[in-house]
Homo-oligomer: A and B are copies of this chain.
Amino acid sequence: MPAPDTPAPALPGCSDCELRALCLPAGLSRHTLARLASIVAAPRPVPRGQALFRTGQPLRSLYAVRSGSFKTCLGHAPAHHQVTGFPMAGDLLGLDGIGSAHHSVDAIALAPSQVCAIPYLQLAELAHESRELQRQLHRSLSREIVRDHGVMRMLGGMRADERLAAFLLDLTRQLQARGRPAAPLVLRMTRAELGSHLGLKLETVSRSFSRLQDDGLLAVRQRRIRILDAEGLARLAGGAAA
């Protein structure tokens, strides 16, 4: 069932997507890429604040983020949101739902975004035929695990300022890896959402920002952050973890 409101559903697809080197298609041959493109739906907009999917819904597709950014949170519970991550362009959403065939988090757009739906069954079928695609899928899944381990390290062993420093460095690294401007870092999430991800209350996040600023490591202006001393941040973040 094609989206009724998009003008031209027959878009060029993955082959021309500027994200193809970072997304699932990374390293795929032209042939496989074309086949993948044939099952990927045309990019679909997700307005800010809207859920791409919710906990418990049956998993039909994985979603590649084409633009914008999201938060993924645990907990049907009203108040006890726990943000597990902030996926952005190039990330794959829904991997956690494969095991149970149902999504295990809510995915909420933090900004107007675009996603490409990839029907999971067709993807699995294609991966069955293509070693390279299979390998890519494994990589994506495995990397998600490693990423989660990083969060566990933050939550388990670091104090407030260290967590924030580690998060900012990680965010910068991710933006750089995507060849995006990381110089004036612009946060897409509120202090509360950030706090939920870091295991802190929003007041503590705010205080940590202020402290890092006072120490000359950051320049903070609302959600616009400039890193003044990356090495200092790394010393903070690494001091506890390394």
- Using a CB–CB distance below 8 Å, which chain A residues touch chain B? 74-77, 80, 82, 84, 95-100, 104-105, 124-125, 127-128, 131, 134-135, 137-146, 148-149, 151-153, 155-157, 196-199, 240-242
Q: A153-B82, A157-B199, A241-B75 are in contact. Are A98 and B131 (CB under 8 A)?
A: no
Contact B196 A142 (CB under 8 A): no
Q: A82-B156, A134-B128, A156-B196 are in contact. Are A77 and B242 (CB under 8 A)?
A: yes
Contact A142 B97 (CB under 8 A): yes
Report B-chain residues with C-beta under 8 Å of the C-beta of A124.
131, 134-135, 138
Contact B96 A142 (CB under 8 A): yes
Query: Which residue in B97, B152, B157, B240 is a CB contact (below 8 Å) of A152?
Result: B152
Contact B141 A138 (CB under 8 A): yes
Q: A82-B153, A149-B74, A149-B104 are in contact. Are A139 and B98 (CB under 8 A)?
A: yes
Contact B149 A105 (CB under 8 A): yes
Report B-chain residues with C-beta under 8 Å of the C-beta of A135.
124
Write the chain B residue with the least CB distance to A239: B80
Shortest distance from the beta carbon of A193 to any chain B beta carbon, whole Å: 12
Shortest distance from the beta carbon of A219 to any chain B beta carbon, whole Å: 28
Complex CA distance for A196 and B153, rounded to whole angstroms:
10
Write the chain B residue with the least CB distance to A151: B152
Report B-chain residues with C-beta under 8 Å of the C-beta of A105.
149
